[in-house]
Amino acid sequence: MTTEVGSETEVKKDSEQLGPDKAKEKPEEASETPENQKSRETSTEEAQDSSSVPAPTSQSSPSSQKKEKTSSESKGISRFLPPWLKKQKSYTLAGTKDDTKKRTAGEEQVVEESECRSPEGVAQRKKSLEEAAAENQHNAKAHDKEEKDSVSSAETQPAKEDGKEREVEKVAEEKEEKQEEKEKETKEVQTAEIKPENIPQKSPKKIKTVQCKVVLLDGTEYSCDLEKRAKGQVLFDKVCEHLNLLEKDYFGLLFYENSEQKNWLDSSKEIKRQIRSLPWVFTFNVKFYPPDPSQLTEDITRYFLCLQLRQDIASGRLPCSFVTHALLGSYTLQAELGDHDPEEHRSDYISEFQFAPNQTQEMEEKVAELHKTHRGLTPAQADSQFLENAKRLSMYGVDLHHAKDSEGVDIMLGVCANGLLIYKDRLRINRFAWPKILKISYKRSNFYIKVRPAELEQFESTIGFKLPNHRAAKRLWKVCVEHHTFFRLVSPEQPPKAKFLTLGSKFRYSGRTQAQTRQASNLIDRPAPYFERTSSKRVSRSLDG
């Protein structure tokens, strides 16, 4: 008789079907006691022997089946003992994971074989298997927890150590950053403290302004604040704007180094490099006297020219005859007082005005007589008549400089629109027109002019003059350059280009020439500006006369 016994492959398949989930839940088993291990080993060997026998496909007798059932039941009795009879499992890992997995697989195979062989006790076996599986799961979970705890503790310790090191590094970095920030703050504070310390030294650049006073031609003062590095053109433009003057190229600003030495303010240079003393006091004057004042476009320009000429006459810089003094004085009265009125203008009204350096009673009476003849003239017309008579004077527009000739005789060198004039004892002894002069130069305190040869001469001649000092020679040379450029040239010359080891001055006149000024004057298109005419300088006389 033969019995149907499942093949080894079938048993394995069943075990794979029944226990995949359970095997997954049993990762590792704890070590058992030696007795349990021996009983398990014997049972597994017997199960393997029985499974190794080939099973015939034919049907077996029921008697043989009973014998096999009893033998299988007797062999696997220890497997089905209740869990409380077994010894407790230790929580320490005695074997490796591979051994425990093999054991669990063998146990599952034996259980499945026994289940297949004993169909009657399936329910009991299932219950026991479930209880054993539950107990194994419980023990495995507890063991896994211990492993995890031990592993986590082993992992967390270096992690904690790494975290402590990182925290220490972070604290060190934060300290370094704080130190750097403190250093920056200290630097900023130091710079902030240094800056206010430097403010009194560098404040002149921002705050340092110089008050300038300009004495105008009518005797009034104009004051303004300028930066110390401002150029002369800035101040000159402000003064002209204050005066509402457009034809300003004939005028300039003078400053005095001493009572006798005067200098024209160069508009292209900084003021502080030209004037060395404070306060900055200038006078607004006519620099280039127009040869024909009637060509001036606006009345206000002629008015300022009249004021300048009145000062020149009253101070003696422009000498006049008795008749000329009286005539020019009468035009001055007509321009300032209007027509003569016997009720208002009594015999002593002229004594308040100064027309000449040495004004006499006879001159005043003559001025009063001529004033009566100018009835009907407007102030502008009176100014025009004044200029027409003043321009005929021999010293009109002449800038005088003290010098000595080659023989050491005191002379005066005069620069005007026509050329260079030489005076001795107020008399003109020689004249060099601009076309006749080839070159002007100075060396130390000597001033030289190179003159074209005359009709009967073949060679050029150079004439030298001795001036008080080097600065006076340079000042005279500059005045000659400016007058020649303004009156003779159509446009100013460009300064020479800088060369290596060049000798001589590079100064050139940078303003507009007379030709350019006249062109600009023709383009003026505005109504005649209103201005108040101020009376000439009055002379304070005592009551005793």
Looking at residue 391, what is its pLDDT? 96
Q: pLDDT (tens digit, 9 = 90+) per residue, 209-256?
A: 889 999 999 999 999 999 888 999 999 999 999 999 999 999 999 998
Query: What is the model's pLDDT at position 209?
Result: 86
On whether the CB atoms of residues 464 and 487 are closer than 8 A, the answer is no
Residue 458 banded pLDDT, cuts 50, 70, 90: confident
User: Does residue 65 surpass a pLDDT of 60?
Assistant: no
Q: How confident is the model at residue 90 (pLDDT cuts 50, 70, 90)?
A: very low
Kindly report whether the peptide bond that precedes residue 342 is cis, defined as omega within 30 degrees of 0: no
Cα angle 470, 476, 477; round to 5: 90
pLDDT at 206: 58
> Span 109-131, mean pLDDT?
51
Higher pLDDT, 303 or 256: 303
CATH for 293-391 is 1.20.80.10
pLDDT at 177: 75
**First-to-last CA distance in the chain?**
182
| Burial category of 400 from C-beta neighbours within 10 Å (exposed 0-12, middle 13-18, buried 19 and up) | middle
Domain boundaries defined on the chain: 209-286, 293-391, 399-494+505-522
In angstroms, the CA 449 to CA 422 distance is 12
Check residues 75 and 334 and name the one with the higher pLDDT: 334
Kindly tell me if the per-residue pLDDT of 401 is higher than 70.
Answer: yes
The C-alpha atoms of residue 422 and residue 430 are separated, in whole angstroms, by 5
**What distances in angstroms separate CA 142 from CA 68, 99, 102, 424, one per listed residue?**
39, 19, 20, 135
Distance CA 121, CA 77 (A): 12
Best-predicted range by mean pLDDT (27-36, 331-340, 530-539)? 331-340
Q: pLDDT-derived band of residue 31, with 50, 70 and 90 as boundaries?
A: very low
Q: What DSSP letter does each residue of 292-359 carry, written as one string?
A: -GGG---HHHHHHHHHHHHHHHHHTSS---HHHHHHHHHHHHHHHH-S--TTTS-TTGGGGB--STT-
H/E stretch holding 43 = helix 34-52
* For the ranges 154-163, 379-388, 455-464, 536-545, the one whose mean pLDDT is highest: 379-388
Mean pLDDT of the region 48-75 = 45
Q: Supply the pLDDT for residue 114.
A: 46
Predicted local distance difference test score (pLDDT) of residue 81 = 67
Tell me, what's the pLDDT at 532? 82
Question: pLDDT above 70 covers what percent of the chain?
Answer: 59
pLDDT at 171: 75
Q: What pLDDT does residue 221 have?
A: 94
Q: Does 112 or 274 have the greater pLDDT score?
A: 274
Average pLDDT of the chain, as a whole number? 74
Quote the CA–CA distance of 419 and 232 in Å, as a whole number.
27
CATH fold of 209-286 reads Ubiquitin-like (UB roll) (3.10.20)
**Which pair of structure tokens corresponds to residue 244?**
């509402």
What was the pLDDT predicted at 29?
Answer: 42
pLDDT tens, 469-501?
Answer: 999 999 999 999 999 999 999 887 776 666 655
Model pLDDT, residue 14: 46
Place of tokens 């497997």: 79
pLDDT band (50, 70, 90) for residue 294: very high
Q: Is the pLDDT of residue 339 over 60?
A: yes
pLDDT at position 60? 44
pTM given for the model: 0.61
Identical fold for domains 209-286 and 293-391, yes or no, is no
DSSP 75-123: HTTGGGS-GGGSPPPPSS--S-HHHHHHHHHHHHHHHHHHHHH-STTHH
Q: Which of 4-18, 101-115, 221-235, 406-420 has the lowest mean pLDDT?
A: 4-18
pLDDT of amino acid 88? 47
Q: For the domain made up of 399-494+505-522, give the CATH fold.
A: PH-domain like (2.30.29)
With 0-12 CB in 10 A as exposed, 13-18 as middle and 19+ as buried, what is 395? middle
